Amino acid sequence: MAPLIHRERREAARRALADRRSAVLAAAAKAFATNPYGETSLAGIGRQAGVPEGTAELLFQTREQLFMEVLAQATREWCRDLAAELAGQGTLAPAALAPLLARVLARHPLLTRLMSQVPAAVESVQDPSPLWHAQNRIHEALQPVREELARCCPELGPGRTRVLPLWVLVLICGLEPFAHAAGGMATALVDPTLRDYAVDFETELTAMLTALLC
């Protein structure tokens, strides 16, 4: 009987830890989506998650590690969505591919917001190992997308098929702050002389991708 009780306790502890990890990740996604990177902290995210003090620090040793985990998770969700969208297509010309990519990405505002914060996150990294780990997971998630791109848009060729998903992610870094301006940027874009910089995300991304692909 005692071994069974111990197993049940271990299983209950494992489930509790998994639940707390999920709660921290959900709170982190909300925090990074709504606040500048520099204004977030592990302790604050832990409080928002409603977990015991120190739990967020135990599960994710640094803010950067937690950010990269949320980024990898959001990237995987986008990749699954995009691969499924591409799987339903026949042969596409590059000009038709650009609006499809932009449309699917517009359905993932968390990813676009996170990508705009990557430079700030990378600058504050002390230990690069979480970056390498997240990068490997992102590359794994991109593989089904590359396979579908090669099938439905052979005109791209192997080189552009390999780098296109990364191009999309890099474009977000520059576009997102103008398309979904907040804080000082939102105030600045009220100026009539800067109004042209306030852009529609999907429209502008489509134009950029069309210029790259065609």
Structure letter (DSSP) for residue 51 = P
C-alpha neighbours within 13 Å on the C-beta side of residue 127 = 12
Q: CA-based diameter of the chain, in Å?
A: 76
Residues of the chain with CATH 1.10.357.10: 62-213
Residue 66 pLDDT greater than 90, yes or no: yes
pLDDT at position 152 is 93
62-213 has which CATH code?
Answer: 1.10.357.10
CA dist., res. 45 & res. 172, Å (int): 25
Whole-prediction pTM? 0.84
Given the structure tokens 């069974």, which residue do they identify? 4
Q: Which of 11, 19, 10, 7 is nearest to 52 (CA)?
A: 19
Distances (CA, A) of 19 to 5, 12, 58, 115: 21, 10, 14, 26
Between residues 33 and 175, which one has the greater pLDDT? 33
pLDDT of 12 strictly over 90: no
Of 117 and 13, the one with more pLDDT? 117
Tokens encoding 172: 């977000």
Query: Identity (one letter) of the amino acid at 75?
Result: T
Distance from the Cα of residue 214 to its chain's centroid: 26
Torsion of CA 139, 70, 126, 133, to 10 degrees: -30
Q: What is the pLDDT of residue 73?
A: 93
Average predicted confidence (pLDDT) for the chain: 85
Runs of H (alpha helix) within 88-156: 94-106, 109-123, 129-152
- What confidence tens digit (pLDDT) does each residue in 199-211 have? 788 888 899 889 8
pLDDT band at 93 (very low <50, low <70, confident <90, very high): very high
Which band of pLDDT confidence, cut at 50, 70 and 90, is reported for residue 98?
Answer: very high
Query: How many whole angstroms separate alpha carbon 163 and alpha carbon 131?
Result: 19
Nearest CA to 117 out of 207, 40, 203 is that of: 40
Instruction: Please count the helices (runs of H) and the strands (runs of E) in the chain.
Output: 10, 0
Read off the pLDDT of each residue in 54-81 and give the average, rounded to a whole number: 92
**Spatial distance between the Cα atoms of 51 and 23, rounded to a whole number of angstroms:** 8
pLDDT of residue 69: 92
